[in-house]
Structure 1
Amino acid sequence: MATAILGGGCFWCTEAVYREVKGIDSAESGYMGGQTEHPSYEQVCTGDTGHAEVIKLTYDPAQIQYRDLLEIFFTIHDPTTLNRQGNDVGTQYRSVIFYQSPQQEATARQVIGEMAHVWDAPIVTELAPAQTFYKAEDYHQDYFRQHPLQGYCAFVVAPKVDKFRKTFANRLR
């Protein structure tokens, strides 16, 4: 098994998508990239901790490659908006890839270069070495599946999941 850590705005969105990807063993919502140890959701939401909302993926490289995970990542969020995804604004919603090896960094740089031709604006996705991952509170885990009719889930998360399903039907569990 291998690990990938990605931040593409609200972790409810990215976690919901990756839970449907063939080859993903687990997807955990959490925080990374800040200076506060063991931050709470409330602290992260202030923007003062420096953390981004991220997901930690554990996956089987025999079923899906890191590159494929990144291609999904760049399709399900907007990597051209600095510290923002839709109405979610703040550094905690930044687009970020936390790499764990030189190979992951090289692959991420290559995919970012390729995706630069897909988007009409410059890609602002941060690329940084992985730091300590802090798992988000239990009520954030698998949030979309537990609350599909909640307003944010119905109007923000569900369209991203639908886009994934249509674009990457061959990657569905």
Structure 2
Amino acid sequence: MSKDIRLATVGGGCFWCTEAVFLEVKGVEKVVSGYAGGNAPGKPTYREICSGLTGHAEVIQITYDANIISYEDILVIFMTTHDPTTLNRQGADRGTQYRSVIFYHDENQQKIADEVLKQLQVYFDDKIVTEVSALPIFYEAEQEHQDFYKNNQGYGYCTYVIEPKLSKLRKLHADKLA
């Protein structure tokens, strides 16, 4: 069977967390941490993003095989492994760079994203505030942000923030893991 390679771009707080989650998902070929959705000219840096002044969100771009995992499943995993009800915040990370966002690549992805958010709302006490927008330019983050969890498992942030998200992933979506 030939592969049906597609892209998905999402942001759910720190990209180190979302990257670690999707690297465990069956059908995911590659995950790249980066930035999207800002208004500052030129390629932003991590330092500029962290200032909150560029308008960019920390995002990941997922390359996946649609014959193995659907875009809808990717979004369900995304929405259930971060808090989509907090505006510009995930845990202690605060600012527009940590907003919950789905950047769609085409109209079909937009329709699927809107439907997934609508279907999942009943599972949350608070209103889902995840932004759904057309993907502007995606900028790849600096090399030290790629494969962060894999390369820094002893780092405190990995232990206290990323590992609980991975545990949640394994509990809720065991059937979707590689």
- TM-score (norm: length of structure 2): 0.96
Work out whether 1:51 is the aligned partner of 2:56.
yes
Question: 2:124 maps to which residue?
Answer: 119
* Residue 133 (structure 1) aligned with residue 138 (structure 2): yes
Q: Counterpart in 2 of 1:24?
A: 28
Equivalent residue letter for 1:14: T
Among the aligned pairs, what percent are the same residue? 51
Q: How does 1:156-171 map to 2 (within 5 A)?
A: 156-171=161-176
Q: Aligned pair 1:33/2:21, yes or no?
A: no
- The residue type paired with residue 114 of structure 2 is R
Describe the superposition over 1:97-147 as per-residue Cα deviations: whole angstroms up to 9, x where unpaired: 000111000000000001110100000000100011000000000000111
Gaps of 5+ in 2: none
Letter in 1 for 2:93: D
Aligned residue for 1:45, secondary structure, equals helix
What is aligned with 1:71?
76
Q: Which consecutive aligned stretches of 4+ in structure 1 deviate over 4 angstroms post-superposition? A: none
1:20 Cα deviation (Å)? Answer: 0.5
Q: Could you tell me how far 1:167 is from its partner in structure 2? A: 1.2
The DSSP-based 3-state class of the residue aligned with 1:122 is: coil
Among candidates 2, 8, 22, match of residue 12 of structure 2 = 8
TM-score, normalised by the number of residues in structure 1 = 0.99
Q: Which runs of 5+ in 1 are unaligned?
A: none
DSSP-derived class of the 1:7 partner: strand
Q: Distance in 2 between matches of 1:90 and 1:35?
A: 15
CA distance in 1, matches of 2:172, 2:121: 19
CA distance in 2: counterparts of 1:34 and 1:72, whole angstroms: 25
Distance in 2 between the 1:112 and 1:75 partners? 11
Q: 3-state DSSP class of the match of 1:121?
A: coil
Name the aligned partner's letter for residue 23 of structure 1.
G
Number of aligned pairs? 173
CA RMSD between the two structures = 0.5
